[in-house]
Structure 1
Amino acid sequence: MYRSLNDYIARLESEGELVRIKTRVSPVEEIAEITDRVSKTPGGGRALLFENTGTEFPVLTNLFGSVRRMALALGVERLDELSERIEGLLKEALSPRNSITDKLRALPLLADVSRWFPHTTSGRGACQQVVQTGAEASLAALPILKCWPADGGRFVTLPMVNTLDPETGARNVGMYRMQVLDDHTTGMHWHIHKTGARHYDAYKRLGQRMPVSVALGGDPTYTYAATAPMPDNMDEYLLAGFLRRRAVKLVKCITNDIYVPADCDFVIEGYVDPTEEKVVEGPFGDHTGFYSLEDRYPRFHVTAVTHRRDAVYPATVVGVPPQEDAYIAQATERIFLAPIRLALQPEVRDLTMPEAGTAHNIAVVSIDSRYAGQAVKVAQALWGAGQMMFNKYMFIVPPGTDVRDPDALAALVRRIDPVRDLVRSEGILDVLDHATATPGFGGKMAIDATAVDPAAPVVEVPQLPEGFRTDLLEKWGLAVVFAAPDAAFDTPAGVKYLAVFDPQASELTPAELLWLAAANTDPRRDIYMNGSTLVIDARSKRPAAGGQGESGTTPEQPAAVPPAFANPSRFPNVVTASEETIDLVDSRWSDYGLGDLIESPSRRYGRLLLCEGAQW
């Protein structure tokens, strides 16, 4: 595979997948705005190498931002090769071996597996060609991005955060954003559900400082592995070794005992003191398309910064989809489908997480269904499995359905019975989910379409009065109305589904409306039957204004709303660039060498802003 991030860059350039931007650009908002425009072009655009950042280091963005680049990063021609390779490996490893001959045939398989395990080397690695410790170890030397105007500061966005379980010694490599607080400290944004947070709690119980080392760059399989939903206590560098077909070589850090990839570009070494008061972190324009708001997280202290002499600083920009994280999610679907079938749900045939769902909000699953309630069993099992526990909406379809074909899915949606086929539940949600009034916990909904005949007749769609958007009515059975958050609205007779949005969303595309609906709803509060119509209230929620029962839009709910049905205490703004940054990038576009002007996506999404700043 790749010997360095520069090696990967050379491959991208040879494949026509890279643009070098030689003019000087600012890491504060300008790089993010350029990247956002390019990443939202059809197919994800190209990777961007900003060679003049005002520091000694170039910045690489959108490195995973297309199907082709994601495949190149993981060393395959197409992502389906990953599914085929893992499925073949698992079948070979788990097949019965009754004779000595069969067992001997397994020896080459064992030899292959042994070559994937990470191993340590003595001495220093390329990542330690330049070493700065103490006061010299300053984050100010790095071109760390500030992406959006209401961000709390500059953030490291592609960190491979290496921690150790103090009780078992097991390593974890997670991706937790890091807000720069000053030249020598950052926040460490690990959510309560994450392994890094579990390690932190263990050090806190022991009353010990927690060593942490953050790697950046190197073979892109390292970065991917840090994002992957690996089982707890399974080494992410083993996954990287499998993907690159070669073991990851690790070297000991300079100021702590953690080992990191020898050929990565940067290492930021340090510690977290669990006895220290947590610090305010955020806001941050997040992958949900909204700001995640201020909260308190541990402070990370820098003790050393080391890097290659030819280091390139990798960064990602997240915000309103699509962004490059959608392509990372596609790789995850292909890699983890076979293990899901084997270890969890053998009836699962295929699974996809559409980009409108921003990783967790929406999943479409096809299953073999042989008995009543099997879809319910699958939904409950997946909601209890690893990072699938964060899923909010799951659509379960028959095995012959193409889970990526909107026409096939629409045929089922038109024919389901909302009363019979909806499965409601509660459970863990992503801490970043802003719609729930109970952070990290909320409603879940599955739709069981496994017994639905996609060729069955459908009820004719009604003629709707003025004021309703009808472009989704014929295909999906969905009418759309736009009403202010505290305004009542009519439910027209004969409509199967009615979605309600803020008036500012009236010009969004169907895909953008799906993103907004999934993000702005808690199924407990916002999805309900009004007569024979299933209503989806996807409007922004006024903080502390109570639930829908107070507004009178759901007459069957009581006026005194329990906490689960109340509005969230804070409601974030959508992520958009500032007018100043948009104008700056417009005026400098010809300098970047990116061809014809790409209009700023923020001009579209700016209509959704509720106010100035990060939250309403």
Structure 2
Amino acid sequence: MSITAIHRVYHSYMTFKCLQSFLDHLDSIGELKRISEPVSPLLEITGFTQEEAVKSSPTLSSDAAIFDSGREGIGGQALLFENVEGCDFPLAINVFGSYFRMEQALGQRGFSEIADEIGELTKPVPPSGIREMLSMAKKFSPLIKLKPKRKRGRGSCQQNIKRTANGEVDLRRLPLIKCWPLDGNPEAVGYNITKEESGTAVGEGRYITFAGMHTIHADDRFNDKPPSHNIGMYRAQLIDDTHLAMHWHIHHDGAAHWRSWKEIGEPMPIAICFGGETVLPYAATSPLPPGISELLMAGYLQKKGIDLVKGVTVPLWVPANSEFVIEGFVSTQCGNIGWEPGDEPLGEGAVFEGPFGDHTGYYSMPDRYPIVDVTAVTHRNNAVFPATVVGPPPQEDYYLGKATERIMLPLLKVIVPDIIDYHLPQFGAFHNCAFIKIKPEYEEHARKVMHAIWGAGQMAWTKLIVVVGEEVDVHDEHAVLQAVSGIDIANDIELTRGPLDILDHAASKLGAGGKMGIDATRSAPNIDGIAIIGVNKQNGGDGAAAIEQYNETASIVITVDDSIDCSDMSEVFFHFCASFDPSRDVHHHDGYIGLDGTSKMEGDERNGRAVRPWPPFLGLNLSK
């Protein structure tokens, strides 16, 4: 008899002080694979990682089996590439690429346990007497210890210091990776500019993909304990040995900080930090309420504050246990970032960044982004460089996102108390689709919930919301789609407009377009169902024409490209969600509604809604 996987139930609590200690732990329990032969940072590491990501994980997560059944054991092993060609350091990847490893990183406990703790903090009952008051004080007193701890002197991350001013910095010696063939080549995605003309050719399409970007608001520039200290996880494109292109979306805190520095006419200090405490990557991506620091969240997760030290060339505090810190200043000379390419001249201090294969499964298109002038690189002894492949799920960001789904449920319930539970399906790439469970108690209750979610933090970017009743398992995607197939198409669909994810290429405007809500709380029996039609699209309007010609009995007709396997619902709805703008692609007919989820081209404009340049598709790696 052979055992292919182990279920693990947690009875202890332990976080990891640095990436190296975490890798040692993973190695000791069979969750790390070492690769000693030489590998190229250009595409080859992506190939290894893509292959590993869909393998069975050595250890299963019992917790994940409840909310993502069938995927609790996917993710293979973490990978440590010990010999990256042309680079001076080993590279670790897929470290957070399974539910079990994510749980290990967050204290060797399931997401639901963390959520339960947060839930208790979000609904304190006012004390009725002295005894209860003392009990409550005891409950909340540990939170005082969670603030970051600012240390004097150097941290482990500064055991080695290289300064640009001394000619010691060469970013090309770090194992920054090129994930996808067209990364960094604007001409390859239809733009009339070469990578040489864009100023990024030397970087070969290599990117920083897994680092915390530390910034502060300009108003805090004289504050030694800046309350605006933010950590965001953004990408940065390699330009040359001492320069990067900083990519962040207009609604990100890092971009808001950049605008504040632009207003005073000064470059913005930045510290790009790799590794450190294993709770930091999750904290950097968590959608926290305004005023709550990612450093505080990280301290909460590990039950003690994060150690910080002063940067060597920037006025910022950095995690002392980082593997690497890249310090520098972001130019504020260029035009405002985040608008359509070509709206303004490129300007000084900017490059044409991108394209970049993204988690949507498509390339995000090139745009103007500011340059980082790197002033120093510091690192630990024997440092390991962390990276991730950004691309179609499942990648590491899928598990980070699902951790947020579970851990932040109590906070979402505070904002929208009607919610019983929710699920972000893998095919929705997080911002494209959300399933919500409620107990409907009055007419249009589901619509109230939809609009509340469209106003709730990062959930505001959600394009498609499906609301089901309490009898439906919201984590069973087939059950939810079955409920959708039974809706009253005349009364159960809500169409509106609003902000969308910047990466939504189907949106008629950058970051704005249509939204659809489906009330499936009163799904009827004996329904006609959903019809999926593959369209051999040659011209604009072919997807809409296929809907017009439909003459069968389904109540919902969805068109997709004929290259898609229409029997595979994960693949169908991945492409549909990515390629659909409800303000342009909904077709009403007697007896049925048509939803055009085909790739768009010139001639698909409708209802005054444009079609923007359509990006190439990366390919799918979906776990079933």
TM-score of the two chains, using structure 2 as the length reference? 0.84
Would the aligned equivalents of 1:215 and 1:267 in 2 still touch at CA under 8 Å? yes
Matched, 1:103 2:147: no
1:49 matched residue in structure 2 = 80
The CA distance in 2 between the partners of 1:320 and 1:174, in whole Å, is 21
How has the CA–CA distance of structure 1 residues 109 and 258 changed in structure 2, closer, same or farther, with 3 Å as cutoff? same
Shift of 1:411: 3.3
Q: Structure 2 matches for 1:29-428, cutoff 5 A?
A: 29-42=43-56, 43-54=74-85, 55-91=87-123, 94-134=124-164, 135-152=167-184, 153-168=205-220, 169=226, 170-276=228-334, 277=348, 278-342=350-414, 344-428=415-499
Would the aligned equivalents of 1:63 and 1:69 in 2 still touch at CA under 8 Å? yes
How has the CA–CA distance of structure 1 residues 143 and 116 changed in structure 2, closer, same or farther, with 3 Å as cutoff? same
TM-score of the two chains, using structure 1 as the length reference? 0.85
After the TM superposition, list the runs of 4 or more consecutive aligned residues in structure 1 that deviate by more than 6 angstroms.
none
The CA distance in 2 between the partners of 1:252 and 1:400, in whole Å, is 54
1:556 matched residue in structure 2 = none
The CA distance in 2 between the partners of 1:131 and 1:399, in whole Å, is 57
Would the aligned equivalents of 1:322 and 1:356 in 2 still touch at CA under 8 Å? no
Matched, 1:20 2:78: no
1:511 matched residue in structure 2 = 570
Query: 409, 414, 435: which is aligned to 2:506?
Result: 435
Shift of 1:139: 0.7
The CA distance in 1 between the partners of 2:246 and 2:564, in whole Å, is 34
Corresponding letter in the other structure for 1:370: E
Shift of 1:131: 0.4
Shift of 1:17: 1.6
Would the aligned equivalents of 1:35 and 1:61 in 2 still touch at CA under 8 Å? yes
Q: Alpha-carbon deviations, 1:560-590, whole Å to 9, x = none?
A: x51xx2222x1000115xxxxxxxxxxxxxx
How has the CA–CA distance of structure 1 residues 415 and 375 changed in structure 2, closer, same or farther, with 3 Å as cutoff? same
Shift of 1:68: 0.8
Q: Alpha-carbon deviations, 1:24-62, whole Å to 9, x = none?
A: 111110001110121133512111111111323111111
1:566 matched residue in structure 2 = 610
Would the aligned equivalents of 2:17 and 2:278 in 1 still touch at CA under 8 Å? no
For the residue of structure 2 that corresponds to 1:493, the secondary structure is: coil
- Give the root-mean-square deviation of aligned CA atoms: 1.9
Would the aligned equivalents of 1:131 and 1:305 in 2 still touch at CA under 8 Å? yes
Stretches of structure 2 that go unaligned for 5 or more consecutive residues are 1-14, 57-73, 185-204, 221-225, 335-347
Corresponding letter in the other structure for 1:217: G
1:8 matched residue in structure 2 = 22
The CA distance in 2 between the partners of 1:39 and 1:374, in whole Å, is 40
Would the aligned equivalents of 1:485 and 1:540 in 2 still touch at CA under 8 Å? no
Corresponding letter in the other structure for 1:9: L
The CA distance in 1 between the partners of 2:586 and 2:32, in whole Å, is 44
Shift of 1:392: 0.4
Shift of 1:260: 1.1
Would the aligned equivalents of 1:376 and 1:448 in 2 still touch at CA under 8 Å? yes
Q: Which is richer in helix?
A: 1
Would the aligned equivalents of 1:366 and 1:397 in 2 still touch at CA under 8 Å? yes
Q: Alpha-carbon deviations, 1:452-476, whole Å to 9, x = none?
A: 3xxx5314x5xxxxxxxxxxxxxx5
1:583 matched residue in structure 2 = none
Q: Structure 2 matches for 1:570-589, cutoff 5 A?
A: 570-576=613-619
Matched, 1:547 2:599: no
For the residue of structure 2 that corresponds to 1:408, the secondary structure is: helix
The CA distance in 1 between the partners of 2:494 and 2:431, in whole Å, is 18
Shift of 1:448: 1.1
For the residue of structure 2 that corresponds to 1:167, the secondary structure is: helix
Corresponding letter in the other structure for 2:93: T
2:198 matched residue in structure 1 = none
Identity value in percent: 39
Query: 561, 575, 590: which is aligned to 1:531?
Result: 590
How has the CA–CA distance of structure 1 residues 601 and 358 changed in structure 2, closer, same or farther, with 3 Å as cutoff? closer
Corresponding letter in the other structure for 1:426: R
Of 357-366 and 81-90, the range deviating more from structure 2: 81-90
Would the aligned equivalents of 1:287 and 1:319 in 2 still touch at CA under 8 Å? yes
Would the aligned equivalents of 1:481 and 1:498 in 2 still touch at CA under 8 Å? no
Q: Alpha-carbon deviations, 1:67-91, whole Å to 9, x = none?
A: 1111111113322112112112333
The CA distance in 2 between the partners of 1:227 and 1:19, in whole Å, is 26
Query: 552, 557, 561: which is aligned to 1:493?
Result: 552
Stretches of structure 1 that go unaligned for 5 or more consecutive residues are 462-475, 550-560, 577-599, 605-616
Shift of 1:484: 0.7
